[in-house]
Amino acid sequence: MNEQARPTMGRVQPQPAPVEDRVLRGVGRFYRFAALAGLAAFGSYIILRAAGATFKNFEQWHTLVAGLPMPTVSDWIANIGIGVHFVTGAVLVLAWPILFSARIRARHRAVHRWTGRVYVSAGVLAGIGGLSFILTHGAYTRSASIAFGLWGAVLTLSAVMAYVHARAKRFDLHRAWVIRLFAMVLGAWLFDLEFRAWKDLAGGIGIGKGGASGPFDQAILYLFFVPNLVIAEFFIRNAHRRIVLPRRLTWPAVAVLAVTGLVFAYAILAVSATPTGKYGKHLLQLVPR
């Protein structure tokens, strides 16, 4: 018998994954990298602008940081509430890679636990801070106040329930509520991406002019967080099963995800790395020329 063939006898050689599965995994890695880079830019923007390190502070709490008079209690509540929302929101945007790292969770349990405690606490404070601003000051329209209020309520509820289930050691339920919390955190970022992508790639159809609200302005009030929650629920309910697409649907799914990924990448770059981007015009001024 050939000695070189002996080690392979009796073994089933692993078959390489189909090419479409490898492409899907590659697309998934791209989305993760894009989220890491884009959320890092978003978090930096929040910190720098809220701290007044860029050319313009957030209008919502400019009165407080500028030391201007606030004649009513509601002014104080609104300014302090939105300030808490900004500070804790930056934590939510920047700390998620630590919280969701399987390696840290497996090898550094204390780091995972303390990051989780900070994260859910930040979620509660961010939600309460944002809701206090909505209740005392309001968003730019009544419909926006309603939508942002619902978003803030779901964010706060998710953070509270994640903490409650962690304390009770119901870790599957804890993990589900953390996923819902992160889906709401993503919404704050996706709002800007969706608006810029629609404005540039769809010609801004449905965006109101001169401060008016158009159909897209109304739709985005829910598009920025409701689809996230639906997708989160899908993954929560299928957490322990391997999702296998029928072969006839695999390549169409790859095509849809790839096109969506290109739009996603364009929006991240347009918002974060251009002089006309909402974040870019603040971040780029800090780059040495």
**Residue 241 in this model has a pLDDT that exceeds 80:** no
Is the Cα torsion angle 213, 46, 179, 156 positive or negative in sign?
Answer: negative
Please write down the HEC assignment for all residues of the chain.
Answer: CCCCCHHHCCCCCCCCCCHHHHHHHHHHHHHHHHHHHHHHHHHHHHHHHHCCCCCCCCHHHHHHHCCCCCCCHHHHHHHHHHHHHHHHHHHHHHCHHHHCCHHHHHHCHHHHHHHHHHHHHHHHHHHHHHHHHHHHCCCCCHHHHHHHHHHHHHHHHHHHHHHHHHHCCCHHHHHHHHHHHHHHHHHHHHHHHHHHHHHHHCCCCCCCCCCCCCHHHHHHHHHCCHHHHHHHHHHHHCCCCCCCCCHHHHHHHHHHHHHHHHHHHHHHHHHHCCCCCCCHHHHHHHCCC
For the ranges 45-49, 148-152, 237-241, which has the lowest average pLDDT? 237-241
**Percent helix, percent strand, percent coil in the chain, to nearest 5:** 75, 0, 25
What is the secondary structure of 184-199 as a DSSP string?
HHHHHHHHHHHHHHHH
For the ranges 220-229, 253-262, 274-283, which has the lowest average pLDDT? 253-262
Q: Pick from 142, 162, 160: which is nearest to 100 by CA? A: 162
Integer Cα distance of 228 and 238 in angstroms: 16
Query: What are the structure tokens assigned to 245, written together?
Result: 């697409």
Please state, for a pLDDT cut of 70, what percent of the chain lies above it. 90
Band (94; pLDDT cuts 50, 70, 90): very high
Mean pLDDT calculated for residue range 232-240: 85
pLDDT at 283: 93
Band (70; pLDDT cuts 50, 70, 90): confident
Band (28; pLDDT cuts 50, 70, 90): confident
pLDDT at 206: 94
pTM: 0.87
Q: Between 11 and 31, whose confidence is greater? A: 31
- Share the mean pLDDT of the chain: 88
Rg (C-alpha) for the chain, rounded Å, is: 22
Mean pLDDT calculated for residue range 59-85: 88
Give the C-alpha distances (Å, rounded to integers) separating 241 from 100, 170, 173, 244, 246: 19, 19, 16, 9, 15
Mean pLDDT calculated for residue range 274-284: 94
Amino acid found at 139: A
pLDDT at 20: 66
Indicate the SS3 state at residue 7. helix
Q: Between 126 and 238, whose confidence is greater? A: 126
pLDDT, tens digit, 9 for 90 and up, residues 106-159: 899 899 899 999 999 999 999 999 999 999 999 989 999 999 999 999 999 999
**Residue 13 in this model has a pLDDT that exceeds 70:** no
**Residue 254 in this model has a pLDDT that exceeds 90:** no
pLDDT at 223: 96
Cβ proximity of 26 and 257 under 8 Å: no
For the ranges 42-51, 59-68, 83-92, 97-106, which has the lowest average pLDDT? 59-68
**Residue 55 in this model has a pLDDT that exceeds 70:** yes
Band (79; pLDDT cuts 50, 70, 90): very high
pLDDT, tens digit, 9 for 90 and up, residues 172-185: 999 999 999 999 99
Contacts of residues 110-115 at CB distance under 8 Å and 24 or more positions apart, as own/partner, are: none
Band (18; pLDDT cuts 50, 70, 90): low
pLDDT at 238: 82
